Structure 1
């Protein structure tokens, strides 16, 4: 029989298969539409399996991804205490806040890159509690007189350290517009009119970031305020503030061979603490490599890993990705870190920690040889190191003029050699 006839044959379809077809059709109809504006992602399995604790909150959930988990319920009661304090300062009714969120529910859900399986009522209540938690945390940090003695977060510094890093996890985000708008709504009718005078959610958020996060991830002055209105959430705010201050020359590379700090030092390169507070503003000019000041803490790797994951998943230019690759090459050993410590470029006594952090982070990075951010600097460093004069001068300085006594000894030896030569010449002339 001709095989083409089978293409048009009708097959007997049982009732069970009809039901299955209807069920599948229903699932297709109920698919969550892909939102172009989504900006909050669940981290992919590969990095999560390697470092699950770096992406998963242990104390507090913000947003729907980890909402309701048993191990995070202890903080839920305190979040509601924050909500109670917030509502006591305003004449705006609770129902008005909930209605305000209800009107934006679709927009809020579309900010997440996957379907949120929470009913409407539970979702709206969760958003209100979590958004006000952020508002109150920043407000009480900004105005300490609002704190209560029972506050387990701001009243206990070790607890605050854990919480502040968890609200910067990529999976622990709320769209930034919702706490901002709820704060503005509360300001329209407060019992204490002077309390919110000249204060905005931007004011208290940027204040908190400058005081608590700038040491982990240095940020240029005023960039938090400048980028606040553009940011989708807190991790996005950090990414926007890390954009380089000026464009760099980018050239195609066949491979990336970056000398280490020790090798550059031996080749005569000098190191200077960068004047820019932007962590990514590495510069090389006239034999001087400028690297912005960096401090590495126990939690640095966790924070960087979340910012890096968002940069990749949101398809931003790979600025942080390339910075981590660059630093991993430069600071590959504790000796490299020690040289940076001596030049006041890193603020850490444990020189083993810096190369370890960048080595661990490097595993999550991808290099693009055609568009590596620091390709121009690499080319200039390689060219500088190839000139023998630079290495000879560095060797002379490092081996023979590294201390005042060594310098005096070399000078004395040269003078002695000159006097000996003169004496020899005079003796020959006398003959």
Structure 2
């Protein structure tokens, strides 16, 4: 018996000793399979694989396209760099990066040394060349490997911002500055990336091309291009005071039951809402006051007299409510919107769970938009311009984005906005005022008629009064 116990103990120790080091240095995580159950194409590259996770997987044209960009990259180095570099010298530079680059990936990389270094060179050169082609004057770049491939542009741009289709940002940044020397000192890589994003149709493009330039300028720990986009879009006012944990004993993470769940009855994955719970009491999600942290539906707000105002989209996450007016930055629903937002949310789930912004934004929109009627409210107020077709499609996309995601309720960024909206909706005076304005004063002639009737009533009363007096 003792021998058997020692054997089991030895086996467990061997397994513990073979565990990889704790992933404090991990930057890039592979998207779990259960995320793909919702919509796999939102997490899978269409045209170009970047990094080791999708290396040479079912993308036959990907390698040729990347090699053509590598060829273009070498030509650009020859034309504009003050250093005479060849591929061998770049490989020496990347060899110094190998160990660090491998440690950035949470999953064990099966690629051998040569394949891994080749992948780093080809993929990094592709990213640099592709971004330069779209950010610099045409006379700076005599050739374009995608000149006759315009139909692929949107999907390539989407591929560059998929959660696990990534290279470490610092590696690409350092290779650019190593390759272009003085030119890189004058045209910073971060500036190029901001200019590039500003010319795409991905969410946050307005922020990246304006306020985002300042936000990323002094940030050294940018994990990848998804993280870069997130930093560009951070709202002007960030969280400063964390929620006190004195009254929070644990987090209850429960499925968020919404009316749109009717489309997901056969699906085992749902949005998740995490609420603070007292360990001595149970929690009823529907009755708990914490559910006020999510806003009412747009149609309900409109019926209660809340005005909607579209603000410039350069601060995508800057949603405000003041004086009965809900201010929401303009946004559009494109083919790539769902995929990019999902990648941003997944990145926050990995790195910024208790300090999330895009996750909170998605949950806010998910609660605000539940039916096509809610979408129509935003369309009528020019807050969104759906490019995909029907309002029903837009509602479905918004409702689906939060599936599989978890929200840290104590730090919900829009909790005060939501509470103020609930306070407006539950105020009877606001409801009656809204009904009065909608049913009786919704047209100038209605107001004139009411004024006329009031004057007529006053004159009638005066006539009766003077008649009695006389």
User: What band does the TM-score fall into relative to the shorter chain?
Assistant: 0.7 to 0.9
* Residues 280, 319 of structure 1: 8 Å contact kept: yes
TM-score, length basis structure 1: 0.86
1:164, 1:254 → 2: CA distance?
A: 42
Query: Structure 1 residues 158 and 342 mapped into 2: Cα distance closer, same or farther (>3 Å)?
Result: same
* Residues 307, 325 of structure 2: 8 Å contact kept: yes
Answering whether residue 334 of structure 2 is matched by residue 334 of structure 1, we say no
SS of the aligned residue for 1:273 comes to strand
1:50, 1:348 → 2: CA distance?
A: 21
Answering whether residue 69 of structure 2 is matched by residue 82 of structure 1, we say yes
How is 1:120-135 mapped onto 2 (pairs within 5 angstroms)? 120-135=113-128
Moved more, 345-354 or 79-88: 345-354
Question: 1:109 matched to which residue of 2?
Answer: 102
2:367, 2:70 → 1: CA distance?
A: 48
Question: How far does residue 186 in structure 1 lie from its aligned partner after superposition?
Answer: 1.6
Question: 2:233 matched to which residue of 1?
Answer: 242
Answering whether residue 340 of structure 2 is matched by residue 283 of structure 1, we say no
Question: 2:224 matched to which residue of 1?
Answer: 233
In angstroms, what is the RMSD of aligned CA positions? 2.9
Question: How far does residue 135 in structure 1 lie from its aligned partner after superposition?
Answer: 0.7
Question: How far does residue 149 in structure 1 lie from its aligned partner after superposition?
Answer: 6.9
Answering whether residue 343 of structure 2 is matched by residue 306 of structure 1, we say yes
Question: How far does residue 30 in structure 1 lie from its aligned partner after superposition?
Answer: 5.9
* Residues 272, 288 of structure 1: 8 Å contact kept: yes
Query: Structure 1 residues 259 and 40 mapped into 2: Cα distance closer, same or farther (>3 Å)?
Result: same
Question: How far does residue 8 in structure 1 lie from its aligned partner after superposition?
Answer: 5.7
1:393, 1:164 → 2: CA distance?
A: 48
Count of matched residue positions in the alignment of Structure 1 and Structure 2: 409
Question: 2:251 matched to which residue of 1?
Answer: none
Question: How far does residue 295 in structure 1 lie from its aligned partner after superposition?
Answer: 0.9
Deviation string 1:257-302 (CA, Å, 9 cap, x unpaired) is 4322222222222221235622221111122111111111122111
1:186, 1:300 → 2: CA distance?
A: 33
Deviation string 1:170-222 (CA, Å, 9 cap, x unpaired) is 1110011122111112223xxxx8x7682232222111012215555652623
Answering whether residue 53 of structure 2 is matched by residue 62 of structure 1, we say no
* Residues 102, 124 of structure 1: 8 Å contact kept: yes
TM-score, length basis structure 2: 0.79
Question: 1:255 matched to which residue of 2?
Answer: 290
Question: How far does residue 10 in structure 1 lie from its aligned partner after superposition?
Answer: 9.7
Structure 1 residues without counterparts, runs of 5 or longer: 1-5
Query: Structure 1 residues 394 and 364 mapped into 2: Cα distance closer, same or farther (>3 Å)?
Result: same
2:237, 2:184 → 1: CA distance?
A: 37
How is 1:66-215 mapped onto 2 (pairs within 5 angstroms)? 66-69=54-57, 71-88=58-75, 89-90=77-78, 91-143=84-136, 144-145=138-139, 151-152=145-146, 154-188=147-181, 198-213=186-201, 215=203
* Residues 203, 337 of structure 2: 8 Å contact kept: no
